[in-house]
Amino acid sequence: MPARRVTIEDVRQILVEVAGAPDPGDAAGGVDAELNELGYDSIAVLAAVAKVERDYGVKVDEGELLDATTLADLVELINAA
């Protein structure tokens, strides 16, 4: 588990940093926003997870990454690491 819980906002910021701003129109997407609809494909998610792992010293289960289709799923997966 990360030293402190990772929030939706943390992940959103990391995604912007490593994969660019979300597609316009969906920028205000909430916790249930589909990552695909935000314009973040699997490579963007991989890039974000790599940064989370570096920043928080955790190892996220890559086998379950593809099942994380929303921001909330992704945050949950990270906090379970």
Partner 1 sequence: MSDNVVVTGIGLVTPNGLGTEDVWAAMLAGRSGLSTITRFDATRYPARIAGEVSEFAAEQHIPGRLIPQTDHMTRMALVAAESAVRDAKVDLATVPEFGGGVVTAAGAGGFEFGQRELESLWSKGPEYVSPYQSFAWFYAVNTGQISIRHGLKGTAGVVVGDQAGGLDAVAQARRLVRAGHELMITGGADSALCPWGWVAQLANNRVSRATEPDRAYLPFDRRACGYVPGEGAAMLVLRPAERRDAVPGYGEIVGHAATFDGKAARDAAVGVRKAIELALADAALTPGDVDVVFADGSGTPELDDSEAAAIAEVFGARRVPVTVPKTMVGRLCSAGPVLDLALALLAIRDGVVPPVVNSAPAPDHVLDLVVGEPRALDVRTALVVARGYGGFNSVMVVRSTEG
Residue ranges in contact with partner 1 by CB under 8 A = 16, 18-24, 39-40, 43, 46-47, 50, 53-54
**End-to-end CA, the chain:** 5
Closest separation in Å from C-beta 6 to partner 1: 17
Contacting residues for 78 by C-beta, under 8 A, at least 6 apart? 2, 6, 11, 49, 52, 56, 58, 60
Closest separation in Å from C-beta 56 to partner 1: 12
Which residue, 6 or 18, is less far from partner 1 as judged by CB?
18
Question: Cα dist. 33→24, 36, 39, 72 in Å?
Answer: 13, 9, 11, 8
Which residue, 8 or 47, is less far from partner 1 as judged by CB?
47
Which residue, 10 or 53, is less far from partner 1 as judged by CB?
53
Closest separation in Å from C-beta 16 to partner 1: 8
